[in-house]
Amino acid sequence: MIKEERQRLIIEKLNRDQKINLVELSQLLHVSYDSIRRDVIELEDKGLLKKVHGGAVANSYLSFKTTQGFGIDNQEVLHLTRKAQKLFENHQTILMDGGTTNFHIAEQFPKNLELTVITNSLPLAIVLNEHPKIETILLGGTYHKRYQITVGTQAMRQLEHLRVDLYLMGFNGLDPNVGVTLRNYEESVLKQKMAKSAKKVAICAITEKIHTIETYKVCDLHEIGFLVTSLKPSDPSLNDFRNKGIEII
Amino acid sequence: MIKEERQRLIIEKLNRDQKINLVELSQLLHVSYDSIRRDVIELEDKGLLKKVHGGAVANSYLSFKTTQGFGIDNQEVLHLTRKAQKLFENHQTILMDGGTTNFHIAEQFPKNLELTVITNSLPLAIVLNEHPKIETILLGGTYHKRYQITVGTQAMRQLEHLRVDLYLMGFNGLDPNVGVTLRNYEESVLKQKMAKSAKKVAICAITEKIHTIETYKVCDLHEIGFLVTSLKPSDPSLNDFRNKGIEII
DNA sequence: AAATATCTTGCAAAAAAATGCAAAAAAAAG
DNA sequence: CTTTTTTTTGCATTTTTTTGCAAGATATTT
């Protein structure tokens, strides 16, 4: 049996049972324990499962409580959020706002990553509960029930006292000419302030958002330091961004 | 059976029954008591439950419906939180901090109550999502993972700009001579500041907490305006409090 | 205060994972 | 069709994780 066939069966069984056991699988598929183990490592690298002692489990298994409403298993988002991990180093202070992309990035932080994360997103704070080495600071302000974030002058004022290494900005539209745009006015103002509080700004864009324009402008491209995308850094459609000095990841 | 599978079953049972017993579980899952105990410790570290003597109870704010827990006289809590509703009137601004009592009070707000609630508790903000006429303002600051509240100088500074009608203070101990006491130092300081930001302070005490003294003092009795208790207002054991001008509810 | 149940701690056995290596199989190159 | 190269596989060894047990400490109940 070829490797790909085996891995397909592993994923199928995982989807059925929510968990797999390596020893059991090796007997079932008549291959050595090591082969199965290596398959599982490969599948984990692709972000298709989570390896645990004794087997593997479906990707967001024990964090299902916090992922309610966020549990979209989009292949591209998974790929993106993995790539985004390159942005972070120990002992940095990071500013992150709301949105599902940021949520998934935080969810995938390595357990031993030592960061200070400043955020206005409640779901983000909650998910970081599971990362013992991450210190979380919440921005206060008016609580926006739909987006589960804080906004307003109180959050703005708190930002004035802060200076962070990196701001991971969520957004709705990205266009080479117009820059970064958003659907919500109040948030767009806050994000402008956030960008000014950071040494570098990074955005993480699914392909769908590139070349999209929304109502409220947040900032120009020259304020952006990094663009995380699932496209290859050399992709010609990214020329416009690369030319403006944005580092493609 | 792999560890993660066991832990998933524990969480599932917990969500069904609201409480679990370690011995019972170890028999049900055919593993030693120690393994279950270690699982429960891990799950507690992740904030997915709360360990108690002999078992565990649901903890996450998403399943905070745990009115029935170990050692908690939930009948009394229900009675108390009902009584506490008398404290609130439309168009007031209320300051509420963390703790299960405050959580349950907020949970029982009438759906048509129009309030502004200022809080440093994430579970409280989340539960108020379901009350469309309540505006929520969150205090920013360092996020305390265990208690799911914000603390620290940033929260203190934000309080300086606020003046509220009523502060509903959570606490650990209440004694006629010593006053209100708490187990956690950082919180006790914040609560002092909160009390100063409010026209009136109310506390809501299950009988168990009355005549109890904890490590850190928050304030004297004369700073307290209302005491909500399940005892009758005329109960002689409340004389000490009534004499100090506290209104018994 | 005694009796019972539960918790903590350290330890050793068992299970599983990681690592390095060499044979076998498959793919690519000539 | 060989030969070379690469990939895959299984095995032995070392390391890590998990597990169950026992003894003493702590908590709860009677």
Domain at B3-63, CATH from 1.10.40.30, 3.10.580.10, 1.10.760.10, 1.10.10.10: 1.10.10.10
Each domain of chain B, given as residue ranges in start order, spans 3-63, 74-248
Per-residue pLDDT band for A62 (boundaries 50, 70, 90) equals very low
Beta bridge partners of A134: A115
What number of CA atoms fall less than 13 Å from residue B69's CA on the CB side?
Answer: 20
Q: What pLDDT, on the 0 to 100 scale, is given for residue A89? A: 81
Segment A90-119 shows an average pLDDT of 85
- The reply to whether the CB atom of residue B31 sits less than 7 A from any atom in nucleic acid chain D is yes
Query: Number of residue pairs across A and B with CB atoms under 8 Å?
Result: 106
Domain at A75-248, CATH from 3.20.20.70, 3.40.50.1360, 3.90.226.10, 3.40.50.300: 3.40.50.1360
Segment A2-24 shows an average pLDDT of 87
Mean pLDDT of chain A: 85
Strand C bases with any atom < 7 A from protein Cβ: 5-10, 15-20
Segment A212-234 shows an average pLDDT of 87
Strand D bases with any atom < 7 A from protein Cβ: 8-12, 17-22, 27-28
Q: What pLDDT, on the 0 to 100 scale, is given for residue A61? A: 43
Asked if the Cβ–Cβ distance from A141 to B145 is below 8 Å, we say no
Residue A17 reports pLDDT greater than 80: yes
Q: What is the DSSP string of B158-170?
A: HHHT--EEEEEE-
Higher pLDDT, B82 or A94: A94
In chain B, the percentage of residues whose pLDDT exceeds 70 is 93
Question: Domain B74-248 has what CATH class?
Answer: alpha beta
CA-closest candidate to residue A119, choices A59, A204, A190, A174? A190
Euclidean distance between CA atoms B22 and B163, whole angstroms: 47
Q: What pLDDT, on the 0 to 100 scale, is given for residue A112? A: 65
Segment A16-26 shows an average pLDDT of 89
Q: What is the pLDDT of residues A189-216, one digit of tens each?
A: 999 999 999 999 999 988 888 888 999 9
Q: Is it true that A3-57 and A75-248 share their CATH fold?
A: no
Q: What pLDDT, on the 0 to 100 scale, is given for residue B47? A: 67
Q: What is the pLDDT of residues B117-162, one digit of tens each?
A: 999 998 888 888 878 889 999 999 999 877 889 999 999 999 998 9
SS3 call for A76: helix
Euclidean distance between CA atoms A7 and A39, whole angstroms: 6
Between the alpha carbon of residue B243 and those of residues A30, B177, B249, the distances in Å are: 81, 12, 14
Option in A57, A122, A136 nearest B126 (CB): A122
Q: What pLDDT, on the 0 to 100 scale, is given for residue B69? A: 33
Q: What is the pLDDT of residues A140-190, one digit of tens each?
A: 999 998 888 999 999 999 999 899 999 999 999 999 889 999 999 999 999
Domain at A3-57, CATH from 3.30.465.10, 3.90.550.10, 1.10.1660.10, 1.10.10.10: 1.10.10.10
Residue B229 reports pLDDT greater than 50: yes
